[in-house]
Structure formats: structure tokens, C-alpha cells
Amino acid sequence: MAIVSDTSKVFINNKISCSVLSKKQFFGVSVCVPKIVPDVRIRSRAKARFVEVKSTLQINLDEKNVSVNGNLGFDVVTEKELKEKGFLGLRKTKLICTIGPACSSLEDLERLALGGMNVARLNMCHNTREWHSDVIRNIKKLNEEKGFCISLMIDTEGSQMYMVDHGVGSSVKAEDGSIWLFTIERFEGSRPFTVQAYYEGFSEGIKVGDELVIDGGMATFEVIEKVGNDLRCKCTDPGLLLPRAKISFWRNGKLVEKIFELPTLSTKDWTDIDFGISEGVDFIAVSFVNEASDIKLLKNYLSTKSSEFIKVLAKVESLESLKNLEDIVEASDGIMVARGDLGVQIPLEQIPTVQEEIIHICRQLNKPVIVASQLLESMVEYPTPTRAEVADVSEAVRQYADALMLSGESAIGLFGDKALSVLRMVSNRLELWSREENKQILLSQRQLGVSLPERIAEQICNCAVEMANNLGVDAIFVYTRHGNMASLLSRNRPNPPIFAFTDRSCTVKTLNLQWGIVPLLVELSEDMEHNIRKTFELVKTSGMVKNGDVVLVVSDVIPSSSTHSYFQSIKVKTIA
């Protein structure tokens, strides 16, 4: 084994520069080694602060084998992909499926799991809690018995205007020119051309001549008469009326802002949140978030329930959320770009640029971002997507969104498995193209850390990704308890996949949402060299790697007796 070390002292002011590279020759091959790659020792000298930085490159790993027990707990789909395609063939964009009547059985869920589903989303607008509980139990059973690693997300209903029912189990077609009554009256069964509205004040402030729009344009009606608190409407754009479809009103081409204010989290939402806590879900997506305080309120509540491990995602789907976007992103653990409802509140032509801006801000603030709604809408009824839908999915992947989400395509669609396979295929192809065409450019990252150890961790991860791309390593291994450095690595969207080794199951499920990360649950000791030898041996034994694979190793596992800075490190190793 050849070991080369560079040690230098670097002056620290407000930030650490990692752009200086030194070139070394290893067995006749020129490689770049960052001069600022810790082991880090911090010392004070008068008014200046110095960091002693040691970078180590190791070629031909030949340490003595260690005796290991157990396995790495690879998700079976990742394991299969890795064996077939190697490190660089692993898909990095995560896939989320909404679970509904079309895919709720154990067999259906297993097909989605085999198809690459990373996160299962349960929309609390639909079905009973008993139904949701059965789905959660089946997913946990698949994880435990079949070797999958699927995270669980619930999506709150939110306080909004929507159709309670139209009297039949599925969709109803509203024909052009047909007259419908939208009423707050509660009744059982069905009435011809009658729809129950959820919110009693839904017609307040509405005038004859206004447009009533269903689900952002699935069908459109003109208000022709106000009958007490009800509205009689004429269908002007025919389409399908689905149970619990959302209602909005437009006047002279602009959204009618209602005079009443609805709370972000309704009484039902809080009951659903308690249900999610009791079921041990991993994410709660909050609908119609208007400001950061909505997210902080839920996080505070989770802390009182000792459920801080549940991550809170904010759904961006209103004008108000766009006005407070950066504050909401900072307060949340991730963002869902809910384009369907957002498209009701802003002009359609603004959706692409708004989506790109949200993704950019999320990367700057190191928060995972999901692109959702109508990705493959035509596949609810047809076995192949439109070419425009494929282009839309491709653009989301090109923008480096962390995850793509199926809604009705999987929940009620006839071809959920095929829709998922389209997302997987397009993600793989675009990621490969990006690497081949060298389109990956490191983002000029906003500094997030406040303390010196936090800033050092950021700089390590920024440099590690640049180093991994320049050296053309096969994978990045990160050893982390809380997932912080794994997340910082993902933020930079490296070419090689990131394998995150952690001893916390909640960290595994959280990292399951983030771009390019393969989380693995292993027992970690305070001896990092032992952790590295153990996991390398397990990876080799499982046949996941081959001789000659080059791995960049990063760690933030900190012994209780040590400082944060001392044990943050980078190493490059070749598997032999």
C-alpha cells in the first residue's frame, strides 16, 4: 500500500478555502489531492486561528481482514442494480408513489417496491385510518421480510375547499353545457348533477359570472345563480369530477382570494398527525403551508411527543407560500413542489421557472425537494406516457430534484407499475447523459454553518465531491450518525453514488429521500479505521464491489471524548 500525506497550516478568517490543489504521481498516474482535507486540529495563536490539515491518499487497500458478522442490509433493488450495473449505474433520483385503491394490496406494494419505490405516500384526504394502517403494516412487512428499504410519508389534507362527494365511487363526467348544483347540504347517496362542497363558506364573496374550476382545470363551470349558500353552475369546459377534487374561483382571469382565513392544520389534520406518530411514519408533508410558523408549530408539537425523528415537509402550492418561500424552506426538512394546486394560483406559464427556482433554493439551503403532480397524468388511463410528459420528467431530473412523485398515476391509475418504470428509466438515462456530457457543475454553495466545525464539515463535503469527480472514483462512503455530512455531499450532486453508513434506523429512512444516497444500517464503533475495514469487508463479501474500485471515504462519526473537528476526514481507497 502506498500512502502519501500532505500536511499544511491554513489561516482561518471567516471561511476556509479548498480550491488549491496539489498534483502527485502515484504509480505513474497524475491525480489531484486537495490540500485542505482534514484530519483537523484547531489551535489558537494570538489573534489568528490555524487549522492543521492532513490529506491522505491510499492506493491498493491491503489491510488485514477483520472478522465481521451480519450484512449491510442493502435494499434488494439497490443490491440488484449494483451487481448488474456497478456503482455508476445506480439511479440517484428517488421515486415516491402515492398509495391508493389501485396499489394497496401486499402484492401490489411489492411490485412497486421491486420497481424502485423509495418512499410510499399516504394521502390522508382519502380512505379510512384503518385502511392506511393496513398499508403501513404491509410496507413494514415488506421491509422486514423481503429486504426492502421503503420510507413512509403521510400527507395532511389541509384546510381547503374541495368536493366532498358526488354520490358515486369514482369519477363522473361533466358534459359541456350541463347544469350542476354545488351545495353545502349534507345528504346520503347520489343526486343527479349535484356536488357537495366541504366548506360552508365556500360561496362567500362569489359573484354570478365567476368561474368555478375543478382541480386546477380538470373541469370548469360558470356561476349562473346563487341559491342561498349554494351555487348553480354551467359546465363550460367538460371533464372528470373526482371525489375530493379541489375547488377554486376565478374572476377576470385572476384567482379570487377568499375573505375568510382557514388554518393550515385543521382539527382532522392534527388527528391524522397523531395517527402518523403512532404508526411510526418517517415524513409528514403539510398541505397549503403559508408561512414558516406553520412548520415550526408542527415541529414543536412533534418534539413534545418525542417524535423529532419524523421529518416535516412543506408543500408549496399557494401564492402565499411563494411569497415566504425561503423562510419556509429554512424551517422545513424538505419541500414538495405541488404543481397541480400551485398551477391554480399562478399563471401556467410561470410553473417551469417557479419549479426551477424552488429546486435551486432547496439545494442552496440543503433541503431535499420533491417534484410532484401530473408528471405522467395520461398514464392514469393509458399504458404509455406522452412525449411531453417524458420531457417534463427529464427536466426535473436535469434540475437535480431529489425525488419525483406519482400521484393518481399509482393511486388510482390502471398502469401504476408502468408509470414507475418510466420514471426509473428516464431518471437513469438523464443521469447517465449528465455524467457523459460533463454537465455537472458544482453549485456555488451558500454557507450554512455558523460554528467553525460546521463550516469545516461543509468545506470538506464541497471539496470531497470535487475530488471525487476529478479522480473519477466509483463511490463515496460516508460514515455518519445523524446524516449531516451525507446530506451535504448530496447537496453537491456528485457523479458517484453516496453510500451512507449509520447506526440509526431513523437516519436511514430520512436519507432515503435524498438524491444519490444509499443509506445502510450498520453498527459503528468509535474506531473509524475499524468501521472502514469492517464495511469494506462486508461490501466485498457481498459481491457488491470488484477489485480496482476506488472509493472516497468521508466521516463525521465523533467519539464522545473528541471534538467535532478532529474526526472529520477524507480518504481515498482502492479496493484490492
Residue with cell 347544469: 179
Do residues 323 and 193 share a domain? no
Do residues 93 and 239 share a domain? no
pTM of structure: 0.79
Cβ(57)–Cβ(23) below 8 Å: no
Per-residue pLDDT, 559: 61
Per-residue pLDDT, 547: 77
**Torsion from C-alpha of 64, 39, 30, 16, nearest 10 degrees:** 160
We report the CATH number of the domain holding residue 251 as: 2.40.33.10
We report the CATH number of the domain holding residue 461 as: 3.40.1380.20
Do residues 495 and 543 share a domain? yes
Asked if the structure places residue 64 within a domain, the reply is no
Round to whole Å and give the CA distance between 444 and 447: 9
Cβ(287)–Cβ(342) below 8 Å: no
In the chain, the number of structural domains is 4
Do residues 386 and 521 share a domain? no
Show which of 224, 255, 286 is a domain's final residue.
255
Do residues 291 and 374 share a domain? yes
| Cell digits of residue 3 | 500512502
Round to whole Å and give the CA distance between 111 and 173: 31
Asked if the structure places residue 57 within a domain, the reply is no
Ranges of residues in the chain with a pLDDT under 70 are 1-73, 159-170, 258-262, 436-445, 558-571, 573-576
Phi and psi angles of residue 361, each rounded to the nearest 5 degrees, phi first: -65, -40
Do residues 422 and 479 share a domain? no
Per-residue pLDDT, 417: 95
Round to whole Å and give the CA distance between 125 and 142: 25
**Domain range for residue 28?**
8-52
Per-residue pLDDT, 12: 28
We report the CATH number of the domain holding residue 430 as: 3.20.20.60
Show which of 408, 436, 464 is a domain's final residue.
436
Per-residue pLDDT, 573: 67
Can you list the positions of beta strands (E) in 317-368?
Answer: 335-338
Asked if the structure places residue 18 within a domain, the reply is yes
Per-residue pLDDT, 477: 94
Helix residue spans in 399-443 (DSSP H)? 408-411, 416-436
Do residues 313 and 401 share a domain? yes
Per-residue pLDDT, 276: 96
| Cell digits of residue 153 | 410519508
Per-residue pLDDT, 3: 28
Do residues 168 and 154 share a domain? no
448 in helix, strand or coil?
coil
DSSP 487-503: HHHHHT--SS-EEEEES
Residue with cell 413542489: 337
pLDDT above 70 as % of the chain? 79
Show which of 219, 238, 255 is a domain's final residue.
255
Asked if the structure places residue 304 within a domain, the reply is yes
CA-closest candidate to residue 131, choices 236, 272, 16: 272
Cβ(238)–Cβ(175) below 8 Å: yes
Asked if the structure places residue 380 within a domain, the reply is yes
**Torsion from C-alpha of 258, 266, 154, 324, nearest 10 degrees:** 50
Cβ(43)–Cβ(52) below 8 Å: yes
Per-residue pLDDT, 488: 93
Which 3-state string (H, E, C) describes 141-204? HHHHHHCCCCEEEEECCCCCCEEEECCCCCCEEECCCCEEEEECCCCCCCCCCEEEECCCCCCC
Do residues 296 and 408 share a domain? yes
Do residues 558 and 419 share a domain? no
Asked if the structure places residue 199 within a domain, the reply is yes
Round to whole Å and give the CA distance between 527 and 548: 25
Do residues 552 and 515 share a domain? yes
Asked if the structure places residue 565 within a domain, the reply is yes
Per-residue pLDDT, 576: 60
Per-residue pLDDT, 13: 30
Asked if the structure places residue 389 within a domain, the reply is yes
- Helix axes of 106-114 and 416-436: crossing angle, nearest 10 degrees: 10
For β-strands 194-197 and 254-255, DSSP reports them as unpaired
Distance set, CA 143 to CA 137, 147, 311, 469, 541 (Å):
10, 5, 20, 33, 22
Do residues 392 and 494 share a domain? no
| Cell digits of residue 96 | 415516491
